[in-house]
């Protein structure tokens, strides 16, 4: 006993004296499955997931997205069928992205606020058929501009902040009128959250939520998404660095998030996800607001490439990747793995 006691030490962790080995053996709580589940600090459930979906015109139409295996652009009728499956799996919400024909795109992005536009028609169909399903709409102009930027541009190609907000305001109102539960402004214009909140209040849409893409980075992980919505060809090698955030910065992200909360955002989002989990963690710790992250198309595509080559175990990696978001502090995750993950969780 004396020999053992002479080796005993302790350390201070969060102002608590913690015994050292052998009195403390952390592996005791890892020995069996029931112990591991009992002390797990983070939990992943289907209720944490939002499924991004791409909609196109027509009937009984589907188009595969080559860079995103398993993801399809769907006509409204087929999208409704998938929505029913999502509800059965316990997924509470979708994020909607329209894919419109090129002849409807122009420099003014006028199709974005067409009350009979594709996004607006789809929102109405979803809410009429599945009122219990949360519908989040994308408030951004890049699917509607002929140049692929998220706003109106001047003669030098610079995206105009305040002029863009005027169009976003009209787009957001049309989505709210169609029945969207959540507006997701993904444009990164300064001041747009305050304008949208004021418009929603003035027009009586008091309960329409705003999930701000508060920290959206000028990332190289968006390529497959731009293919999916048809904006990559319009962008023609251009970039969005004059309005999306520099990947080098995290203090700036906190300022952006603080501004959006002050302007009336109900929830905030960090995008992309896994490369920016430090920002997710800082956001949740600093502000304590509902915090979401987007596991973007590039993350999805590179995982699938590894699965296809047998380099990673698909089921285990899907769940581990999503659990990382929860551990970092995210309340929810937008992910193209939502259906796969919900099915896996149902089997566990």
Active site residues: 216, 271
Give the Cα separation of 9 and 140 in Å (integer).
58
Query: Other CB atoms closer than 10 Å to residue 159's CB: what's the count?
Result: 21
Q: Determine contact, residues 213/151, Cβ cutoff 8 Å.
A: no
Whether 142 contacts 150, CB under 8 Å: yes
The tokens for 210 are 């705003």
Q: Cβ-count burial of 131 within 10 angstroms (0-12 exposed, 13-18 middle, 19+ buried)?
A: exposed
The b/e string for 34-54 (b: 16+ C-beta within 10 A; e otherwise) is eeeeeeeeeebebebbbbbbb
How far is it, in rounded angstroms, from Cα 258 to Cα 194?
Answer: 12
List beta partners, residue 335: 295
């Amino acid at each position: 006993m004396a020999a053992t006691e002479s080796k005993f030490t302790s350390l201070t962790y969060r102002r608590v004296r913690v015994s050292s080995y052998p009195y403390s053996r952390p592996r005791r709580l890892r020995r069996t499955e029931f112990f591991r589940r009992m002390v797990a600090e983070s939990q992943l459930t289907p209720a944490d997931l939002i499924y991004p979906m791409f909609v196109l015109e027509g009937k009984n139409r589907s188009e595969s997205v080559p860079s995103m295996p398993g993801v399809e652009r769907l006509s409204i009728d087929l999208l409704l069928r998938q929505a029913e499956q999502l509800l059965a799996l316990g997924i509470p919400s979708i994020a909607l992205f329209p894919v419109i024909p090129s002849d409807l795109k122009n420099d003014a992005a006028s199709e974005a606020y067409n009350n009979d536009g594709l996004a607006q028609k789809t929102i109405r169909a979803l809410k009429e058929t599945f009122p219990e399903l949360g519908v989040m709409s994308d408030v951004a102009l890049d699917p509607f501009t002929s140049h692929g930027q998220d706003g109106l541009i001047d003669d030098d190609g610079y995206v105009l902040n305040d002029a863009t907000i005027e169009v976003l305001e009209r787009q957001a109102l049309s989505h709210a009128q169609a029945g969207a539960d959540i507006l997701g402004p993904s444009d990164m214009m300064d001041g747009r959250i305050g304008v949208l909140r004021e418009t929603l209040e003035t027009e009586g849409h008091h309960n329409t939520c705003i999930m701000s893409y508060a920290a959206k980075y000028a990332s190289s992980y968006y390529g497959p998404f731009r293919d999916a919505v048809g904006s990559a060809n319009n962008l023609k090698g251009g970039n969005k660095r004059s309005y999306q955030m520099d990947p080098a910065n995290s203090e700036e992200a906190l300022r952006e998030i603080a501004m959006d909360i002050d302007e009336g955002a109900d929830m905030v989002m960090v995008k992309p996800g896994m490369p920016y989990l430090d920002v997710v963690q800082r956001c949740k710790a600093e502000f304590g607001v509902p915090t979401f992250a987007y596991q973007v198309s590039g993350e999805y595509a590179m995982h699938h490439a590894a699965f296809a080559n047998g380099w990673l175990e698909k089921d285990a990696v899907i769940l581990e990747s999503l659990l990382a978001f929860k551990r970092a502090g995210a309340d929810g995750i937008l992910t193209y793995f939502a259906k796969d993950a919900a099915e896996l969780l149902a089997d566990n």
